[in-house]
C-alpha cells in the first residue's frame, strides 16, 4: 500500500464515521464521551487542528458544520436532548481532576 492509498483510505473511514454520526442524531455527545472518550465536537476540533497544522484557517464554527452537516446551533436545537443525571454523573467522574 502506498502512502497516498493509506491517506485516501483513512479519509474515507473518517468520512464514513462522520456520516454515520450525522445519521445517528439519537446518539448524544455526552453518551459518546462516556462510552468512547470523544464526541462530534472532538472530531471537529481534530479536523480544525489538522487544517491549522497545514496553515489553513478553519474556524470552530466551520469545523463543527463540517462534522454536523449543519450549523452547530441548528443541530443542538433539532437533536440535542437534556442529558440524564446518570450521564452527567458518569461524565463528571471520568474527567481528570486537578
The predicted-structure confidence for 88-97, as pLDDT tens digits, reads as follows 888 887 776 5
Alpha carbon distance 66, 35 (integer Å): 23
Residue 65's domain comprises: 3-94
The pTM assigned to this predicted structure is 0.84
Give backbone dihedrals phi and psi of 39, rounded to 5 degrees, phi first.
Answer: -145, -170
The CATH number for 46's domain is 1.10.3340.10
User: Shortest CA distance to 78 belongs to which of 69, 87, 91?
Assistant: 69
Total tally of structural domains belonging to the chain: 1
The predicted-structure confidence for 16-34, as pLDDT tens digits, reads as follows 999 999 999 999 999 999 9
The predicted-structure confidence for 47-88, as pLDDT tens digits, reads as follows 999 999 999 999 999 999 999 999 999 999 999 998 888 888
Within 13 Å of residue 69, how many CA atoms lie on the same side as its CB? Answer: 13
Amino acid at each position: 500500500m502506498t502512502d497516498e492509498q493509506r491517506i485516501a483510505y483513512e479519509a474515507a473511514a473518517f468520512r464514513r464515521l462522520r456520516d454515520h454520526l450525522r445519521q445517528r442524531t439519537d446518539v448524544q455527545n455526552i453518551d459518546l464521551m462516556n462510552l468512547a472518550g470523544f464526541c462530534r465536537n472532538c472530531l471537529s476540533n481534530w479536523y480544525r487542528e489538522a487544517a491549522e497544522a497545514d496553515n489553513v484557517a478553519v474556524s470552530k464554527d466551520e469545523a463543527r458544520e463540517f462534522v454536523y452537516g449543519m450549523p452547530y446551533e441548528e443541530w443542538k436545537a433539532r437533536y440535542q436532548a437534556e442529558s440524564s443525571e446518570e450521564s452527567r454523573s458518569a461524565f463528571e467522574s471520568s474527567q481528570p481532576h486537578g
